[in-house]
Amino acid sequence: MAAPWAAVKFWKPGTEGPGINISEERQSAAEASGTSIIYNPHAAFSIEQQRQKLPVFKLRNHILYLVENYQTVVIIGETGCGKSTQIPQYLSEAGWTAEGKVVGVTQPRRVAAVSVAGRVAEERGAVLGHEVGYCIRFDDCTDSQATRIKFLTDGMLVREMMADPLLKKYSVLMLDEAHERTLYTDIAVGLLKKVQKKRGDLRLIVASATLDAEKFKDFFNQNETSDPNKDTCAILTIEGRTFPVDIFYTQSPVPDYVRYTVETVMKIHQTEKDGDILAFLTGQEEVETVVSGLIEQARIMSRSGMKRHLRVLPMYAGLPSSEQMKVFERVSHSVRKVIVATNIAETSITISGIVFVTDCGFVKLRAYNPKTAIESLVLVPVSQASANQRAGRSGRNRSGECYRLYTEEDFMKLPLSTVPEMQRTNLAPVILQLKALGIDNVLRFHFLSPPPAQSMVQALELLYALGGLDKNCRLTEPLGVRMAEFPLNPMFAKMLLESGNFGCSAEILSIAAMMQIQNIFVIPPNQKALAVREHRKFAVEEGDHLTMLNVYEAFIKHNKSSQWCQKHFLNYKGLVRATVVREQLKRLLSKFKVPKKSSEGDPDPILRCIVSGFFANAAKLHSTGVYRTVRDDHELHIHPMSVLYAEKPPQWVVFNEVVQTAKFYMRDVTAVESSWLLELAPHFYQQGTHLSRSTKRAKVDEL
């Protein structure tokens, strides 16, 4: 094999030919784009001067005019234009927060809601939580009297609508980052269209990307004539403040993007001037492979006299937060930082100083099969919108470069945008929420992108089986109404509400809380064996649910000690969060007068209670050694992370979810008795109602 990086050849569209030297290309592109002024928000200007320098400022009066005259304004706000922080202030200054009214701004992520609120409070010289506040789960930093500009997560807005369906306190709502099309943004969009019909005074601002602007406009425009003067929705574009990014493609498809990522990063390091590198891959394993590959290459190079060093850092959600923080640390001028990341770096975190990006062209996305009701995680090519978002991570401080590890031809074949989450998820939680918000006919709900009808049917079927809906698909009283109040998947809500009847609400609360936290068990790549040995200490033969209960109870017993967590390779922050989640769930159980009881060490009531919520996710071990779902005979396997993976496989199990990678794997698995299924879910497995298929009955009756 030749020098590993020598094989990588990129070319830039619109140039003479392929195989161009990267440095020359960059230089000519920089010349063509002209000089740009670097914007530094923390330079020595007054806050007012800084605000006026933002691109959005020039359009201040135009925005206010549109909001005054159109019920909905779609704003195409490019990165760095200042829309999220400025528009709410303009609205407030123009009187939209008079008479106790509030301007609300939603964000898809908690950190964004908090940080943007902080920035705006600072600009207004206000104490966060008074005039300017935020509201996210577990953290309501607003004052019901004083708050005029409120930042909140889109999920929180949907929750607020349960108490106040017409959102009466708001005069304007701005849905920020609506182009991301998260589940809750889409729910909010559908609901707000309904609210607007009853509240002509409510103004809506949808902040979106160019691509979806027309779709949002068509959705909200109530003008049924062909006269554009009667439009109720307008579109406005605000230019951003970013720097040009040169895009490079490979000449031919690469056979192995993991290896080519290493090669490309090393080539950039050798031939390019200063600037950090961000490499996009699809999962933890790929990230770790590339990290060790780069460290090895860098070692070889420094031995052969390379002066500038590489600092290689992994970044993915499962990484302990202390490790995650390292990507934000500054390094000395002689060191180049390389961050090897999953999709977390596409939208969720922003690292400054990135000049070069490599993009493998793939992503792991959630998918939902409406026929089997199985959610899975699948590796798919990214969309063009996603690829452009990745490229844009390089042009934030100065002009950047993006190396796509695929051909331009392949890029053109990619879908323009990612399928909205609404169309690739289990809808049971969504339908329950909509029902609780008084949407009787969910099949006729106005979705921005309607989900598959079969997904709706699956959701209705499950909710009926859980007892949350009656035969006419109406929310049951009190069970369905209560289930909808839980910020959880309906199966968890059912399990919690039943826990009083089984006399184990204390244990079920801990289990439900723990199941909401990802990556409780930390496995550092260099101490894998030791970590696994420590984790084994918590394992019980009943399965993952009781193992999690063990971990939680041990954490409490050791006074929530972070040192104790470290010693046992447990995610301290995750466990703390579990205690907070548990408190919230406990308050809901008290509200519904579910008796507080403990089974005092008896596992049986706990397992039966789990079955009362998760009976639909049951599987039986077949003689061939594989599991099959009871409801439709789908082949499943125990996930290697499950404690039952190493045990003698039990005959019957229930599970929380299925992930599809190489096989269909059940996650969070617990051994049960088949008689419990018949006893606790007779309606689902025996009676064969009009909603459930008769095949289900046959499967259990065989036993």
| Binding stretches for DNA (CB under 7 A) | 108-111, 136-137, 153, 155-156, 159, 182-184, 282-285, 316-318, 342-344, 348, 363-366, 377, 429, 487-488, 516, 518-519, 523, 638-641, 645-646, 649, 659, 661-663, 665
Shortest distance in whole angstroms from residue 184 CB to DNA: 6
Shortest distance in whole angstroms from residue 130 CB to DNA: 21
Shortest distance in whole angstroms from residue 108 CB to DNA: 6
**For residues 183 and 238, which CB has a smaller minimum distance to DNA in the complex?**
183
**For residues 84 and 153, which CB has a smaller minimum distance to DNA in the complex?**
153
Shortest distance in whole angstroms from residue 181 CB to DNA: 11
Shortest distance in whole angstroms from residue 430 CB to DNA: 9
* Kind and range of the H or E run holding 297: helix 284-303
**For residues 412 and 529, which CB has a smaller minimum distance to DNA in the complex?**
529
Asked if the peptide bond before residue 478 counts as cis, ω within 30 degrees of 0, the response is yes
**For residues 293 and 487, which CB has a smaller minimum distance to DNA in the complex?**
487
DSSP, residue by residue, 73-86:
EEEEE-TTS-HHHH
Cβ-contact 637, 664 below 8 angstroms:
yes
Shortest distance in whole angstroms from residue 492 CB to DNA: 9
What are the CA-CA distances from residue 523 to residues 124, 343, 349, 570, 673 (Å)? 44, 20, 22, 9, 32
CA distance 257 to 10: 14
Cβ atoms < 10 Å from Cβ of 685: 24
Cβ-contact 220, 193 below 8 angstroms:
yes
Shortest distance in whole angstroms from residue 127 CB to DNA: 22
**For residues 239 and 323, which CB has a smaller minimum distance to DNA in the complex?**
323
DSSP, residue by residue, 424-463:
SS--HHHHHHHHHTT-S-GGGS--SSPPPHHHHHHHHHHH
Closest-CA residue to 457 (of 682, 684, 185, 693): 693
* Kind and range of the H or E run holding 699: helix 694-701
Shortest distance in whole angstroms from residue 658 CB to DNA: 10
Shortest distance in whole angstroms from residue 535 CB to DNA: 10
User: Per this entry, what is the length of the chain?
Assistant: 703
Burial 208-217 (b: 16+ CB within 10 A, else e): bbeebbebbb
Shortest distance in whole angstroms from residue 670 CB to DNA: 15
**For residues 182 and 264, which CB has a smaller minimum distance to DNA in the complex?**
182
What are the CA-CA distances from residue 48 to residues 39, 44, 92, 263, 334 (Å)? 15, 11, 16, 47, 37
In three-state secondary structure terms, 672 is strand
**For residues 486 and 615, which CB has a smaller minimum distance to DNA in the complex?**
486
In three-state secondary structure terms, 180 is helix
DSSP, residue by residue, 505-539:
HHHHHHHHHHHTSS--B---GGGHHHHHHHHHTT-
Q: Look up residue 575 and give its amino acid.
A: L
666 Cβ partners below 8 Å, 6+ apart? 617, 619, 627, 636, 637, 638, 639, 642, 653, 655, 657, 658
Cβ atoms < 10 Å from Cβ of 322: 10
**For residues 344 and 414, which CB has a smaller minimum distance to DNA in the complex?**
344
Shortest distance in whole angstroms from residue 261 CB to DNA: 16
Shortest distance in whole angstroms from residue 188 CB to DNA: 11
Shortest distance in whole angstroms from residue 595 CB to DNA: 24
**For residues 284 and 550, which CB has a smaller minimum distance to DNA in the complex?**
284
**For residues 52 and 661, which CB has a smaller minimum distance to DNA in the complex?**
661
Alpha helices in 558-630 (DSSP H): 562-567, 572-591, 603-614
Backbone angles phi, psi at 471, to 5 degrees: -60, -25
Terminal-to-terminal C-alpha distance of the chain:
59
CA distance 440 to 444: 9
Shortest distance in whole angstroms from residue 343 CB to DNA: 5
| Structure-token pair, residue 411 | 């890029």
Q: Look up residue 260 and give its amino acid.
A: Y
Shortest distance in whole angstroms from residue 456 CB to DNA: 17
Report DSSP state, residue 561. -
**For residues 382 and 460, which CB has a smaller minimum distance to DNA in the complex?**
382
What are the CA-CA distances from residue 401 to residues 270, 352, 357, 390 (Å)? 15, 14, 6, 11
Cα maximum dimension of the chain: 78
| Structure-token pair, residue 325 | 């923080």
What's the chain's Rg over C-alpha atoms? 27
**For residues 66 and 345, which CB has a smaller minimum distance to DNA in the complex?**
345
Shortest distance in whole angstroms from residue 300 CB to DNA: 27
Shortest distance in whole angstroms from residue 319 CB to DNA: 8
**For residues 354 and 659, which CB has a smaller minimum distance to DNA in the complex?**
659
In three-state secondary structure terms, 365 is strand
Cβ-contact 401, 393 below 8 angstroms:
no
Backbone angles phi, psi at 616, to 5 degrees: -70, -25
**For residues 283 and 500, which CB has a smaller minimum distance to DNA in the complex?**
283
Alpha helices in 104-146 (DSSP H): 110-123
Backbone angles phi, psi at 638, to 5 degrees: -75, 130
